[in-house]
Structure 1
Amino acid sequence: MEVRRDMRGRMAKWCASLALTLLAGRAAAQAPGDIVDEVVVRGPEKTLPSTVQAYSRIDPGDELSYEELDKVERRLVATGLFQEVKVRTEPTGPNRVRLILEVEDKASWVVAPTFALSSANVGGGLLYAENNLWGRSKKFGTAVQVSTAESGVFAGYLDPNLFGQPQLRLSVEGQLRSDRVDEYDPGAGQEDPEVVRRTRINSASIATEFGVMLFERVRAAVKYRLMSVDAKSPDPQEEVTTPAFSIGPSQRDASLRLMVGIDTRQNLHAVMEGLNLEASYEVSNPGVWSDFRYRRYGLLYRHGLRLFDEHNLVLRAEASAGVDLPFHQELVLGGNSLRGFVHRQFRGDTRLSFTAEYHFPLFTIRSLSFRGVGFSDTGLMAWRDLPDDGVLRDVNGRVVRGYLPDSQSGLRGSTLAQGLGAGLRLYLRNIVLPLVGVDAAYGVNSGEFRFYLVAGVSPT
């Protein structure tokens, strides 16, 4: 009897203890977070404490949970300003804490050479970039590039923290540019695509974009671009010498672009995480002070998945369609946009593309990380409906596009191409250094291998 009573007593105590544990766990899960009395920033040598706190999105009086601490750390890492970030709290009273933000700045500026090496585009230049102007995370960059296909001067300013609000974003950019635009025989199966017509286009442009981020996931933006474009006569040594674009005085091309979408992406050092879905609409007409009339629609999907801690699967899909696009605004594929093929080999007014990249760590030497990448690029390019006489004119009768004689519209004239390959990426953790990479790609259609080198930021 005594043994039974003892067992019943122990069982009752165990059940009571379990019930108390479950209730305590439930209460803890439902308990409100601590109240922040103070936000303290430690460690930055250049970045202003107010900038660090603005990116944390935490102010005195806010409620802070353990889950929110992890979000704060990710927000600070995703700025790209810091090589080290630590976020913790100190108690200041019952259910009250002090938030400590410890950060270590990256070197914020760089002067570096830039290189471009791909089929039909070889060259280089010099880049200066400042990633943290005045300690307020403002960004400025300027570059000069000379290459066989694209040469020019670029300058841009980006404020991702407008008025101290990370939800607001403003950019201004301008460039002087000279493009050698090559058009090739249609088809993706050519081992060495032949240039049919070569046109030189000179342009000067300025653009500004204002964006708003709501709830850290919904992004909307409006962009206005103003360009002066001047096309030269085609190269007389090529097969086709009729102009692809009206020759004469420079013309004004202005457009207004509207974009809205979901964007949860964060670049956490060498790994990109999050989802981006966006739709865009661009219009050019006299109402926005343009000499042209065209429209462009776009849908974009980007997704970064972290795997095995430091591995990264990055997916990108895009659908674009233009209406009455002039020659200099046509959609293109090839080179770095479709590896395994010649730079801007394919042209059209309708484009579908899909890229999958798998990034993985190789080894690290101090702060320099070497990462490998395997990739697959697929693209479909087509003309939807070409004019019967092969010439697109505006309302004033001016030629804005003279198509090649053998151009075909619809699925019959479309091109489907795929490239497979692998590459190497270099990532420097303690400095704001543009991505350095080299890729080797196999064009499935043509059976050709091509190599691509990009070091720095190109004005394009």
Structure 2
Amino acid sequence: MSGLPSIARVLCILSLVNFIANSSLRAEVFADRIEAIQVVGNEKTKTSVVESLSHLEIDDEVTEKLLNDAKDRIKSSGLFEEVEVERLRSPNARRVIIRLRVKEKTSWFVAPSLQFSTNALTGGFVFGESNLLGHNKKALVFADYGPSARRFVLAYRDPAVWESDLTLTVDSIFRWDRMIEYQDRTEVRRVRLLDYGATILPGYRWSQKFVSSVGAYYRNVDEKLKSESQALNRVSLRKGYDVAIVVKFEYDDTTNYDGLFHGARTSLESTLSDNRFFSDFDYNKEEIRFSSGLVFMNREYNWQNHMSIQLGQNLPYYREYTSGGNNLRGYIDRQFRGDTKYSLSEEFYYPIHNFNRIIVRGVLFYDTNVIYFKDAQFSRDAWKNGMGGGLRFYLKGIVIPLIGFDAAWGAEDHTYATYLSVGATF
């Protein structure tokens, strides 16, 4: 008989567990679900575009997280100055109507472009239309001029061709570039590059977050040696046509507004160029990129990290990977070169002041790169580190900083470097 109390306790516990499980089940079965989605306040933007940006679907179970995520996604598109998500009770039981109330902002913009760092100075302008025909299609014209580089870029992004799951990316470029090689921070070679061409990348959107693309890359390339203080026979300079096939997969679950980056994005890209495509070059390259961000403490603080693995084989000179400058702060622009590159950048953003239209933030950062040529093999000298801090000035509703300034320490070279950018830079 002594075992009966224990059995009774077990039966009570099982009954309680069963009650909780059934209660949860009933809560899920009878949870509020979306009956309809309404969009108000949109004058230029098509209603279908706003609905697509929200990722909301009819019959979705309504939670605070679902509605907050929808608001963040719509706002991070950069098309709207204000976004509100309202929940309205439907006459039907356990059904709600979601109203997306938006206030559009001017979709076109003209901005200056200035980039300054050690041994690099360019200035120009960028003109963009972020909501072409009200379908969230984006077009951009960019040009800059300086002693180290002169570029002209046309770009077009269509996230839903004919409102379908097809996507399209088109880029065209004309570039005059002065490419300098260094050894121990001393110039040893100077090459003048002239190239122009285009990349066309049609794709298919398998879901709101995943896109795959297959396209073509074309460049007419002219590389000329201008000066050389010592013989560098690693790669010969060439003139010719570079034609390549590009395959890309991208998963994107991020939001980005007022410069706050949240979520995760991963991309895998492979490029193959050889004479089967009537190319004068024969090489391949694979790249994996991962970025993530976390916004916390009342959406005031932001931690971001960006990682990449880039591997190439028989790369032409103009497609070799470089480090230094904005992608490895504390060093000269493009100070290091290689066909193999691993990079990691950690950034912490914190608030300084919030004006009526301008947001000022500080940033602390750490950059680390490993870059080398496989023929030379890896050595400790291939690993470089930079760290420092800076300021960012944002216009509210604009993702790109209006002004950015960084001061950095290059750990291996024991040197300081400063970087200034105004408006959009590429």
Question: If the length of structure 1 is used for normalisation, what is the TM-score?
Answer: 0.81
Q: Flag the 1:422–1:211 CA change in 2: closer, same or farther, 3 A.
A: farther
Task: Indicate which of 196, 200, 203 corresponds to 1:208.
Answer: 200
Instruction: Tell me whether 296-305 or 150-159 shows the greater mean CA deviation.
Output: 296-305
Secondary structure at the aligned position of 2:361 is classed as: strand
Q: Flag the 1:62–1:118 CA change in 2: closer, same or farther, 3 A.
A: same
Quote the offset at 1:328 in angstroms.
Answer: 0.9
Quote the offset at 1:168 in angstroms.
Answer: 4.2
Matches of 2:73 and 2:382, distance apart in 1: 42
CA distances 1:360-402 after superposition (whole Å, capped 9, x unpaired)? 11111112111111000111111111xxxxxxxxxxxxxxxxx
The aligned counterpart of 1:177 is 175
- Contact (CA 8 Å) 2:201, 2:213: kept in 1 or not? yes
Secondary structure at the aligned position of 1:115 is classed as: strand
Secondary structure at the aligned position of 1:28 is classed as: helix
Task: Indicate which of 232, 238, 243 corresponds to 2:224.
Answer: 232
Matches of 1:420 and 1:295, distance apart in 2: 32
Secondary structure at the aligned position of 2:326 is classed as: coil
Secondary structure at the aligned position of 2:310 is classed as: strand
Instruction: Tell me whether 73-82 or 120-129 shows the greater mean CA deviation.
Output: 73-82
- Contact (CA 8 Å) 2:34, 2:98: kept in 1 or not? no
CA distances 1:419-442 after superposition (whole Å, capped 9, x unpaired)? 111011122124576653111111
For the aligned residue pairs, the C-alpha RMSD in angstroms reads 2.6
Quote the offset at 1:40 in angstroms.
Answer: 2.1
The aligned counterpart of 2:138 is 139
Matches of 2:27 and 2:88, distance apart in 1: 19
Q: Flag the 1:320–1:71 CA change in 2: closer, same or farther, 3 A.
A: same
- Relative CO higher for 1 or 2, CA cutoff 8 Å, sep ≥ 6? 1
Quote the offset at 1:257 in angstroms.
Answer: 2.0
Matches within 5 A, 1:301-320: 301-308=290-297, 309-320=299-310
The aligned counterpart of 2:255 is 266
Matches within 5 A, 1:391-402: none
The aligned counterpart of 1:88 is 86
- Contact (CA 8 Å) 2:257, 2:399: kept in 1 or not? no
Quote the offset at 1:447 in angstroms.
Answer: 1.6
Read off the aligned partner of 1:427 and give its amino acid letter: Y
The aligned counterpart of 1:14 is none
Matches of 2:243 and 2:412, distance apart in 1: 37
Quote the offset at 1:214 in angstroms.
Answer: 3.4
Quote the offset at 1:115 in angstroms.
Answer: 0.2
The aligned counterpart of 2:68 is 70
The aligned counterpart of 1:108 is 107
The aligned counterpart of 1:45 is 43
Quote the offset at 1:199 in angstroms.
Answer: 0.8
1:451 aligns with 2:418: yes
Read off the aligned partner of 2:419 and give its amino acid letter: Y
The aligned counterpart of 2:10 is none
CA distances 1:76-135 after superposition (whole Å, capped 9, x unpaired)? 122121121111232231233332110111222211210010111112011111111122
Read off the aligned partner of 2:410 and give its amino acid letter: G
Aligned residues with identical type, % of pairs: 29
Secondary structure at the aligned position of 1:228 is classed as: strand
Read off the aligned partner of 1:260 and give its amino acid letter: F
CA distances 1:147-189 after superposition (whole Å, capped 9, x unpaired)? 2222111111111233325x5431111111001010111xxxx
1:360 aligns with 2:350: yes
Quote the offset at 1:329 in angstroms.
Answer: 0.9
- Contact (CA 8 Å) 2:395, 2:401: kept in 1 or not? no
CA distances 1:266-317 after superposition (whole Å, capped 9, x unpaired)? 2143211112233332111122331111011222221111222321111112
Q: Flag the 1:58–1:304 CA change in 2: closer, same or farther, 3 A.
A: closer
Matches of 2:20 and 2:327, distance apart in 1: 57
1:297 aligns with 2:286: yes
1:164 aligns with 2:160: no
Aligned length: 406
- Contact (CA 8 Å) 1:306, 1:312: kept in 2 or not? yes
Read off the aligned partner of 1:353 and give its amino acid letter: S
CA distances 1:230-276 after superposition (whole Å, capped 9, x unpaired)? 122323xx41477886567x410012222235332221432111122
- Contact (CA 8 Å) 1:199, 1:244: kept in 2 or not? no
Q: Flag the 1:104–1:433 CA change in 2: closer, same or farther, 3 A.
A: farther
Quote the offset at 1:26 in angstroms.
Answer: 5.5
- Contact (CA 8 Å) 1:320, 1:352: kept in 2 or not? yes
Quote the offset at 1:54 in angstroms.
Answer: 2.8
Read off the aligned partner of 2:135 and give its amino acid letter: R
Q: Flag the 1:126–1:218 CA change in 2: closer, same or farther, 3 A.
A: closer
Matches of 1:21 and 1:299, distance apart in 2: 45
Task: Indicate which of 214, 218, 227 corresponds to 1:222.
Answer: 214
Quote the offset at 1:33 in angstroms.
Answer: 3.5
Matches of 2:232 and 2:410, distance apart in 1: 31
Task: Indicate which of 337, 345, 353 corresponds to 2:335.
Answer: 345
Matches of 1:224 and 1:316, distance apart in 2: 26
- Contact (CA 8 Å) 1:231, 1:246: kept in 2 or not? no
Q: Flag the 1:266–1:280 CA change in 2: closer, same or farther, 3 A.
A: same
Read off the aligned partner of 1:229 and give its amino acid letter: V
- Provide structure 2 residue ranges, at least 5 long, that are not aligned to the other structure: 1-17
Secondary structure at the aligned position of 2:208 is classed as: coil
The aligned counterpart of 1:6 is none
- Contact (CA 8 Å) 1:217, 1:264: kept in 2 or not? yes
